[in-house]
A and B are shown apart, each in its own frame.
Chain A
Amino acid sequence: MTIGPASVPVLPRGVRLHHDRVRDTWVLLAPERAIRLDPIGHAVLCEVDGTRSFGAIVAALAAKYDAPQDRIAEDSRGLLTGLLNRRMLELTE
């Protein structure tokens, strides 16, 4: 499965963002897994709402952080593909 501009990523049930107040960091919680998110990872996953396409997410992040779209797309695709392979993300389109 590859993530294209029209793909709509969504966090499936049982996978959720959680603010870890003890370690003061954001984590992605999933069955038997807790992934500590760096600020970039957190920013990407905050845009994943199950309605917007990957293309729209990249454009939003590029505008927000004033960064080149190619770079944002590459980083985000890497993160999301890893989650996809671990069944922690799904594509609706």
Chain B
Amino acid sequence: MTVRPPLAMLAELTHRCPLSCPYCSNPLDLARKETELSTEEWAGAFRQAADLGVLHLHLSGGEPASRRDLEELVATARGAGLYTNLITSGIGLTERRLRALDEAGLDHVQLSLQGTDAAMADRIGGYRGGFDRKMQVAGWIAEIGFPLTLNAVVHRQNLHQLPEALDMAVRMGARRIEVAIVQFHGWAMQNRAALMPTRAQAEEARRIVEEARKRLLGTLVIDFVPADYHEDFPKSCMGGWGSTGLNIAPDGTVLPCHAAQTIPHLSFDSVRDRPLREIWYNGAAFNAYRGYDWMPEPCRSCDRKQIDHGGCRCQALALAGDAGATDPVCARSPRHAELRAKADAFAAGSDETLTYRSFAPAEPA
């Protein structure tokens, strides 16, 4: 099988974050500051990525602004020829830092939205004052002229705010909005009963997005991630495992996707030990689910295998107990009916109990 060079890389600069969203996609075992790659190590990884064929670099976290060397990292990445996208909650950014990021050549800002008012956003983010601060940051972003994408993460508790989120994006002058219904990985797995949208909500969200796409053509581009558990076909996770993009965790571990470490039998390489090129082309984890040879039936002979690549491996593990199984979201999976019932049961859960993300308590000395 021919492996093509990657197009995009997600650099999780840190797992530190002032917010503690209950759907955070970071792993349950968060990496501590002392394990993070140094400025020089990240710079080396960015240059290797550009040499390998990566075009887009997404600087993420945690909250990337928690890294004091963010400005320097952006300048290095631009110098290497990468398109730099900052994925941020806005917390930790000041007007001065944003101007320095402008100076460093930052191409684009993606601002997360936990809700369209302070009551919702601060409850979901677990950070009082976060919403007001974010609005202030959005003002500076507009003033400097950074192209902006709003990243609205929606779920049962805030889906009614979707129309307002779309209006907000237009008012802020955003060119794009990503409407992402929570995907159940990482911390979100702990909160399925509190966050799972109802089937009716999932359908309503799709209808709102379709209507807005027509109404706002040429004004606002809308990317939509539907409610996976309520779908009949799975997402084309990562556009196919090891085919398009890669992630680097704060400690330098190179991953085919951000949740890949939940698959216990995979072994991962670090940029600290091995060149990125070798990891991409020859790393065991990257080759584990590339192409079609690993597929079981009904995927192997399925006419959609080049569309959705069998769905999500991490989800297959979480829901079917086997990372090599057909994603149970697929109507052709023998476990689909079971998942449907589960999704409806979660959707009838209580809003009250949210498990916020947090670092594990330090080991006793």
Contact = CB atoms under 8 A, between A and B. Distances in A.
A20 B55 contact: yes
A14 B56 contact: no
A32 B151 CA distance: 12
A16 B147 CA distance: 12
B147 A31 contact: yes
A14 B5 contact: no
B220 A14 contact: no
Nearest to B54: A22
A71 interface: no
Interface string B127-170: 00000000000000000011101000000000000000000000
Interface in A1-57: 1, 12-16, 18, 20-23, 27, 29, 31-32, 34
Interface in A62-93: 84-87
A27 B176 contact: no
A67 to B, nearest CB: 28
Contacts of A20: 53, 55
B204 to A, nearest CB: 25
Interface residues of B, number: 25
Contacts, number: 58
Contacts of A15: 147
A69 B80 CA distance: 39
B36 interface: no
Nearest to A1: B218
B108 interface: yes
B172 interface: no
Given A23-B5, A34-B55, A14 B223 contact: no
Contacts of B126: none
Given A34-B55, A85-B218, A14 B7 contact: no
A31 B52 contact: no
A14 B218 contact: no
B51 interface: yes
Contact of B146 (A1, A13, A87): A13
A86 B176 CA distance: 9
Interface of A: 1, 12-16, 18, 20-23, 27, 29, 31-32, 34, 84-87
3 residue pairs, one from A and one from B, having the closest CB atoms: A14-B147, A22-B53, A87-B175
9 contacts: A12-B147, A22-B51, A22-B52, A29-B55, A31-B149, A34-B56, A34-B83, A85-B218, A87-B221
Given A16-B83, A85-B217, A87-B175, 19 more contacts: A1-B218, A14-B108, A14-B146, A18-B81, A18-B83, A20-B53, A20-B55, A23-B5, A23-B53, A29-B83, A29-B107, A31-B108, A31-B110, A31-B175, A32-B149, A32-B176, A34-B55, A86-B221, A87-B221
